Amino acid sequence: MMQFMLLFSRQGKLRLQKWYVPLSDKEKKKITRELVQTVLARKPKMCSFLEWRDLKIVYKRYASLYFCCAIEDQDNELITLEIIHRYVELLDKYFGSVCELDIIFNFEKAYFILDEFLLGGEVQETSKKNVLKAIEQADLLQEPRHEYFNVPVY
Amino acid sequence: MPGEESLQRGWSHRPAALPRPARMVLPSLKLQELIQEIRGAKTQAQEREVIQKECAHIRAAFREGDAPQRHRQLAKLLYVHMLGYPAHFGQMECLKLIASPRFTDKRVGYLGAMLLLDERQDAHLLITNSIKNDLSQGTQPVQGLALCTLSTTGSAEMCRDLASEVEKLLLRPSPYVRKKAVLAAVHMIRKVPELSDIFLPPCTQLLHERHHGILMGAVTLITELCERSPAALTHFRQVVPQLVQILRTLVISGYSTEHSVAGVSDPFLQVQVLKLLRILGRNHEESSEAMNDMLAQVATNTDTSRNAGNAVLYETVLTIVDIRSASGLRVLAVNILGRFLLNNDKNIRYVALTSLLRLVQSDHSAVQRHRPTVVECLRETDASLSRRALELSLALVNSSNIRSMTQELQGFLEFCPVDLRADCASGILLAAERFAPTKRWHIDTIMRVLTTAGAHVRDDAVANLTQLIGGAEELHAYSVRRLYNALAADISQQPLVQVAAWCIGEYGELLLSESYEETEPLQVQEEEVLMLLEKVLQSHLSLPATRGYALTALMKLSTRFQGDNNRIRRVVSIYGSCLDIELQQRAVEYNALFRKYDHMRSAILEKMPLVEHGGPQDDEPGEGKEQPWSPKREVQSPTEPPTSNLLDLLDLLDSASGDAQPPPALDLMPGGSLLHLLDLPSNTPSLAPIPGLKVFDREGLQISLSFVRPPETPALLLITATASNTSKSDVTHFVFQAAVPKSFQLQLQIPSGDTVPAQGGPPITQVLRVLNPNKAPLRMRLRLAYNHFGQSVQEIFEVKDFPLDTWQ
């Protein structure tokens, strides 16, 4: 299973963190710091895999964002790259040509999309169409504006 | 409040850089504005200020219990939390939001719960009730949120409470909910393995679903069940045909645009199914056979132009080599990996190297075929790739390719990144020890490693080299000359300096003889040699241990060289007041040797007798750090005491491990210890011919024992076990273990290898040392384990009819 996924910028700023294993806040911060440092130190031409503690780390850079997943020993690194790519495609479709700013300003949406694609560290839906449909429907369910004094939802 | 809105709009038009007017209370910002404001902060301090102010607002809002705004406040808090600021005061708000009837509230509330309320928090259990309600009464999207939260952060207790709710959802018609319920079940089983009983029955039915999401979940669930319980594993072998069918549908007939990636049908599902097939087919002939054809088909038909196809192919290869597949299929798998090694994509090369490393034991000859490509990978610029290539190359070294491989590895050693140097150097030395074709080559190789990477070799390399040289009498002159030249060129590489100093001390007189055919004529004067040793003594580059070697060497030369010893005496007396205690002590003792005990000097400084060689030192296994080093482990394993196995079978027999004897310290002490040193048993065997004994003969594999009893040590019996192979198939993974009755002591030395090639290929030899002080009748129990004709074989038997001369 995937143990966690981190998205961070070239400056090391965290943009999304999804943890599928229980860890204290302190431990999460420590892991994040270490991993961000390790990944940012890699040169551009190096391969996307590295060993870190007892996990395998699969990372890929899309524009200014690093997508970094920690998988277990028996997991397939190449398919994890596909998982990352699929997530980026979903974000792209949803936001229309996604960029880092979209994920910053709509971070909760990024989480919602991820939660329709992966569940408990495993892939739950392999059809792009189904994931996007589910998000659309959920968005429609958000209570309309007038319930909140005529201001946009967020 | 209506007024607030316009204020907020007013604020939002202000550029963040302008200073704020001093106000007691700033109005709360919208999420987007907050984010903008934070990003606009020029310093960490400024950011902290903005956030603290906003958090104060959020706290106030929470206290007031403002229901409609709660989700907005929490959303802001979650953003701030991601930046690393504390957000624990939002935990109760998550609970309130989850309990709210509004979807918007629930959405943010559950998100908050996943981020702030993991199972270590006290408030965690409080969401159980809400989740239960949402699971049983909520709309599908709400059920989805609940299942998601449960699967991400559900604690064991929560899982127990909610298991039956999830079980119900497994059978609901809606695929949206079902696919999530299945994965929730996976999480629950991970937390509470006993729940497997509830979730096992529905699985077989789930496999007949057509919805890919449900199938993914079902395959994952079955995988999890099988990994946890051998009973489940046996139970699920029946679904192998169904899984093969799923694969077939995907690979052959299905081209659904919805699920395909780069021309490959649902690679995610394929990989998941292949993984499960691997678990089911492992060690099970029937299942392996049932999936053989399909695996071959996937292996040959998958489009490998893009990563998705390669991911599927990779998983297929892993499955093929792990199950009981036909040998042709295995060869295909290894060849696919060989092709991967030539791929332009670094990632593919990486997985190829990793997989080949896993295979090198079981499919050695197949992997050997790709050795040239592997060696090419040593030149990779990416360090993680070259590390893998190094491990694999070391594992591929054998007696036939030792020279060329060592050449490649030495080349690599010169340019490899620093963190790989130690492993590479040790690897070369170990391989040299196992497979050296000649002693001279061995000495040359060690010298070259010491010159290139002297700082990175293990401590026992020095001892090993001195022992090696000492044992090769015909090479003394050659060695001392080469070492002298190396030392004259460079005195900074400590291990090399130490060995050179020792050699010069022992064989210094050989340096002076003028002509020696094998090397260039070397004309060295005594004075030059002494000068060099003094230089080592005085250099700040020399470690204290090195100085010790140099001082002792000088001392020994006092008896080897013809000239008068004034120079040596001078040096020795100077060091009598050296600050280093060890050196001082030596110098004082040597001084005494020159004065009071001069009559004993030449006896004490005689040539050293041959040192006992016990084999390479045991490495400390995993200190939490991964040992990247299979060859070493491979060599070590036969000598590790297999206590659990053998003691099961043998009540009273003992088996000693073959542990290394460190060579005795090289410093000499006058008087008493002289006898001790000369007592060391030498390795020169006396040849009282004792008849050999054939102990095993099966399908072309023969094991025979030959015996030698050195006359100086009547209690010692040296047995050489030879394994030879006249059959048509290689014998691999050969492991030989022995046990003797309690009154004996047994030491197994490192075997020469673990493979006996077919048709009379070079046999494996292993030396056993048996100490039998009581002259009791010799009995032995032998255990063999090896692979032959594609089968793994284990044999245990007792040998009682040893020739009388071996123990009487």
If one counts every other C-beta atom within 10 angstroms of the C-beta of residue B577, the result is 10
Can you tell me the mean pLDDT for A137-151? Answer: 66
Can you tell me the mean pLDDT for B106-113? Answer: 94
- B623/A contact by beta carbon, under 8 A: no
**What residues 344-373 of chain B have any CB closer than 8 A to a CB of chain A?**
346-351
pLDDT of residue A77: 95
- Please name the residues in contact with B27: beta carbons below 8 A apart, sequence gap of 6 or more: B4, B7, B8, B11
pLDDT of residue B15: 44
Q: Using one digit for the tens of pLDDT, what is the confidence trace for B734-778? A: 999 898 888 888 888 888 888 888 888 888 889 998 888 888 888
Report which listed range, A74-88, B41-55, B469-483, is most confident.
Answer: A74-88
- Percent of chain B residues topping a pLDDT of 70: 85
Exposed, middle or buried by CB within 10 Å (0-12, 13-18, 19+), for B652? exposed
CA angle B560, B565, B566 (to 5 degrees): 165
CA distance B726 to B694: 15
pTM of the model: 0.71
Q: Sorting pLDDT into bands at 50, 70 and 90, what band is B649?
A: very low
The neighbouring-strand residues paired with A122 are A119
Partner residue opposite B261 with nearest CB, options A47, A54, A82: A82
Which amino acid is it at B227? E
Q: What CATH number does the domain located at B689-806 have?
A: 2.60.40.1230
Q: Sorting pLDDT into bands at 50, 70 and 90, what band is B521?
A: low
- Chain A contact set for B626 (CB, 8 A): 51, 54
Q: Considering chain B, what is the average pLDDT of its residues? A: 82
CA distance B421 to B334: 29
Q: Sorting pLDDT into bands at 50, 70 and 90, what band is B684?
A: very low
pLDDT for B680 beyond 90: no
Q: Where are the alpha helices (DSSP H) in B595-736?
A: 598-604, 630-636, 643-649, 673-678
Smallest Cα–Cα separation from A132: which of A94, A80, A78?
Answer: A94
Q: A104: nearest CA in chain B?
A: B35
Can you tell me the mean pLDDT for B29-35? Answer: 84
CA distance B388 to B375: 11
Q: A20: nearest CA in chain B?
A: B152
pLDDT for A152 beyond 50: no
If one counts every other C-beta atom within 10 angstroms of the C-beta of residue A29, the result is 14
Cβ of B141 within 8 Å of Cβ of A120? The answer is no
Token pair of B779 as six digits: 């009995």
pLDDT for A53 beyond 60: yes
pLDDT of residue B3: 35
Token pair of B91 as six digits: 């935990």
pLDDT of residue B520: 61
Cβ of B148 within 8 Å of Cβ of A119? The answer is yes
Element (H, E) at B408: helix B402-415
CA atoms within 13 A on the CB side of B50: 24
Distance from the Cα of A22 to chain B's closest Cα (Å) equals: 6
Q: Where are the alpha helices (DSSP H) in B436-565?
A: 439-453, 460-471, 476-489, 494-512, 526-538, 544-560
Can you tell me the mean pLDDT for B365-381? Answer: 89
Q: Considering chain A, what is the average pLDDT of its residues? A: 91
CA distance B535 to B17: 68
- B627/A contact by beta carbon, under 8 A: no
Strand pairing of A122-123 and A118-119?
A: antiparallel
Q: Which residue has the higher pLDDT, B425 or B600?
A: B425
Can you tell me the mean pLDDT for B128-151? Answer: 94
pLDDT for B573 beyond 70: yes
Can you tell me the mean pLDDT for A123-142? Answer: 93
- Chain B contact set for A79 (CB, 8 A): 267-268, 271, 311-312, 315
- Chain B contact set for A147 (CB, 8 A): 68, 102
Q: Using one digit for the tens of pLDDT, what is the confidence trace for B384-407? A: 888 899 999 999 998 888 999 999
pLDDT for B344 beyond 70: yes
Phi, psi of B633 (to 5 degrees): -65, -40
Q: Sorting pLDDT into bands at 50, 70 and 90, what band is A96?
A: very high
In chain A, the domains with their CATH numbers are: 2-143 (3.30.450.60)
Report which listed range, A18-22, B362-366, B693-697, is most confident.
Answer: A18-22
Going B60 to B61 to B66 to B67, the CA torsion angle's sign is: negative
Partner residue opposite A142 with nearest CB, options B103, B176, B272: B103
CA distance B109 to B124: 13
pLDDT of residue A136: 93
pLDDT for B651 beyond 50: no
pLDDT of residue B16: 45
Q: Which residue has the higher pLDDT, B555 or B676?
A: B555
Does residue B197 contact residue B229 with C-beta atoms inside 8 Å?
no
Q: Residues B64, B8, B25, B35: what is their CA dihedral angle, to the nearest 10 degrees?
A: 90
Token pair of B661 as six digits: 């004897």
pLDDT of residue B14: 42
Q: Is the ipTM of this complex over 0.90?
A: yes
CA distance B83 to B77: 10
The neighbouring-strand residues paired with B745 are B771
pLDDT for A37 beyond 90: yes
pLDDT for B40 beyond 70: yes
Cβ of A127 within 8 Å of Cβ of B213? The answer is yes
- Chain A contact set for B269 (CB, 8 A): 126
- Please name the residues in contact with B477: beta carbons below 8 A apart, sequence gap of 6 or more: B507, B510, B513, B516
pLDDT of residue B656: 37
Can you tell me the mean pLDDT for B214-218? Answer: 95
pLDDT of residue A144: 67
Distance from the Cα of B450 to chain A's closest Cα (Å) equals: 30
Lowest mean pLDDT among A126-130, B19-23, B312-316, B658-662: B658-662
pLDDT of residue B487: 85
- B383/A contact by beta carbon, under 8 A: yes
pLDDT of residue B654: 38
Under DSSP, the state recorded for B250 is I
Q: Which residue has the higher pLDDT, B485 or B337?
A: B337
Cβ of A154 within 8 Å of Cβ of B79? The answer is no
Question: Distances in Å between the alpha carbon of A19 and those of B132, B177, B268, B690?
Answer: 23, 22, 21, 69
Can you tell me the mean pLDDT for B570-577? Answer: 85
Distance from the Cα of A4 to chain B's closest Cα (Å) equals: 10
Sorted by where each begins, the domain ranges of chain B are 458-605, 689-806
Does residue B658 contact residue B750 with C-beta atoms inside 8 Å?
yes
Q: Is B449 helix (H, G, I), strand (E, B) or coil?
A: helix
- Percent of chain A residues topping a pLDDT of 90: 82
pLDDT of residue B7: 35
Can you tell me the mean pLDDT for B559-570? Answer: 81
Can you tell me the mean pLDDT for B54-72? Answer: 87
Does residue A121 contact residue A20 with C-beta atoms inside 8 Å?
yes
Report which listed range, A138-152, B100-114, B458-472, B587-601, is most confident.
Answer: B100-114
Smallest Cα–Cα separation from B768: which of B785, B751, B789, B743?
Answer: B751
pLDDT of residue B279: 95
- Chain A contact set for B84 (CB, 8 A): 14, 29
Cβ of A78 within 8 Å of Cβ of B78? The answer is no
pLDDT of residue B800: 86
- B183/A contact by beta carbon, under 8 A: yes
pLDDT of residue B273: 96
Cβ of A147 within 8 Å of Cβ of B78? The answer is no
Q: Which residue has the higher pLDDT, B18 or B180?
A: B180
**What residues 97-116 of chain A have any CB closer than 8 A to a CB of chain B?**
104-105, 107-108, 111-112, 115-116
The neighbouring-strand residues paired with B278 are none
Partner residue opposite B220 with nearest CB, options A122, A149, A154: A122
| Residue matched to tokens 């040793």 | B533
Q: Which residue has the higher pLDDT, B788 or B623?
A: B788
Can you tell me the mean pLDDT for A25-52? Answer: 93
| Residue matched to tokens 């997989």 | B355
| Residue matched to tokens 């460190």 | B662
Lowest mean pLDDT among B59-73, B462-476, B593-607, B613-627: B613-627
Lowest mean pLDDT among A4-18, A21-35, B296-310, B598-612: B598-612
pLDDT for B671 beyond 80: no
- A52/B contact by beta carbon, under 8 A: no
Q: Using one digit for the tens of pLDDT, what is the confidence trace for B463-495? A: 888 888 888 778 888 888 888 888 888 888 888
Q: Sorting pLDDT into bands at 50, 70 and 90, what band is B516?
A: low
Token pair of A48 as six digits: 């996307």
pLDDT for B628 beyond 60: no
- Between B526-538 and B494-512, two packed helices, what is the crossing angle to 10 degrees? 160
**What residues 139-168 of chain B have any CB closer than 8 A to a CB of chain A?**
141, 144, 147-148, 151-153, 155
